[in-house]
């Protein structure tokens, strides 16, 4: 079970869990006809380094005069949380018409998922007072969101922040997942 | 030897029925039960959805 902080700070922070975050898939314009496709994720966790977020906030939002925009972030990395029950059945992206691999909860696959022994996934089981069902972060589905947009989202859509150690754990596992090296067969 | 009837309620006392409730009445009870606010606010029960916005630019390319 993970511990969380429910107090919302103004700035974006590593380990923040936010709801209803939009990911713009594409914007297409032709002959004056515009098409925008976006996916709304019910929950995401912020994975960008906290020092980068702190610097961005200081340079962008604080009244303190800064010599440049050197520390501005263009985007913030997040990864979606999926309901573990949907993940077991591979149906968590069914609304996007995508079928994912099934994970048998009663066998080794399921145990490995819940014990965070599968590099791709990070299992989060929350305390009763946090209104989030047991969830899985899929590191393969990370995406970036505009930093200003996400700060605005946080005002109304902040759920909680993973407590220290738990957020470092997810950050470390994400970094490890991204730094995998595929060796030839 | 006690000659009283073992199944006589005066002897064994009153007891609640151990019969299971009918499945139908259980279901009705569940359906009629109001949804708790906590359940309504439980996040993570929905799935990602795609939204497509189509529009025509009035003045052509902006």
| Rounded Cα distance, A137 and A170, in Å | 9
Look at the block and give the residue holding tokens 């005002």. A155
pLDDT by 10-residue block (mean), chain A, 185 residues: 91 96 95 94 96 93 82 96 94 93 94 96 91 93 96 95 97 97 90
CB of B41 within 8 Å of a chain A CB? The answer is yes
CB of B50 within 8 Å of a chain A CB? The answer is yes
CB < 8 Å to A43, chain B: 43-44
CB of A129 within 8 Å of a chain B CB? The answer is no
Residue A116, CA distances (Å) to A113, A166, A181 in order: 5, 12, 20
CB contact under 8 A, A96 and B42: no
Q: What is the pLDDT of residues B7-17, one digit of tens each?
A: 666 666 666 66
Confidence of residue B57 (pLDDT cuts 50, 70, 90): confident
CA closest to B61 among chain A residues: A32
**β-pair type (A4-5, A158-162):** antiparallel
Percent of chain B with pLDDT over 90: 15
């Amino acid at each position: 079970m993970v511990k969380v902080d429910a107090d919302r700070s103004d700035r974006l922070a590593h380990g923040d869990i936010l709801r209803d975050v939009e990911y713009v898939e594409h914007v297409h314009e032709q002959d004056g006809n515009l098409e925008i496709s976006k996916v709304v994720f019910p929950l995401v966790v912020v994975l960008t380094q906290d020092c980068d977020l702190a610097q961005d906030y200081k340079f962008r939002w604080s009244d303190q005069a800064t010599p440049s925009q050197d520390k501005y972030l263009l985007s913030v990395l997040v990864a979606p949380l999926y309901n573990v029950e949907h993940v077991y059945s591979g149906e968590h992206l069914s609304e996007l018409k995508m079928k994912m691999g099934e994970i048998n909860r009663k066998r080794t696959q399921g145990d490995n998922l819940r014990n965070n022994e599968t590099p791709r996934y990070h299992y989060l089981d929350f305390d009763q007072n946090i209104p989030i069902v047991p969830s899985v972060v899929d590191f393969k589905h990370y995406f970036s969101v505009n930093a200003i947009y996400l700060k605005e989202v946080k005002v109304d859509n902040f759920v909680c922040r993973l407590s220290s150690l738990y957020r470092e754990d997810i950050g470390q596992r994400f970094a490890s997942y991204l730094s995998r090296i595929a060796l030839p067969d | 030897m006690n000659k009283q009837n073992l199944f006589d309620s005066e002897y064994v006392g009153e007891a609640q029925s151990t019969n299971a409730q009918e499945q139908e009445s259980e279901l009705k009870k569940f359906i009629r039960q109001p949804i708790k606010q906590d359940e309504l606010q439980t996040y993570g029960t929905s799935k990602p959805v795609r939204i497509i916005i189509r529009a025509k630019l009035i003045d052509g390319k902006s």
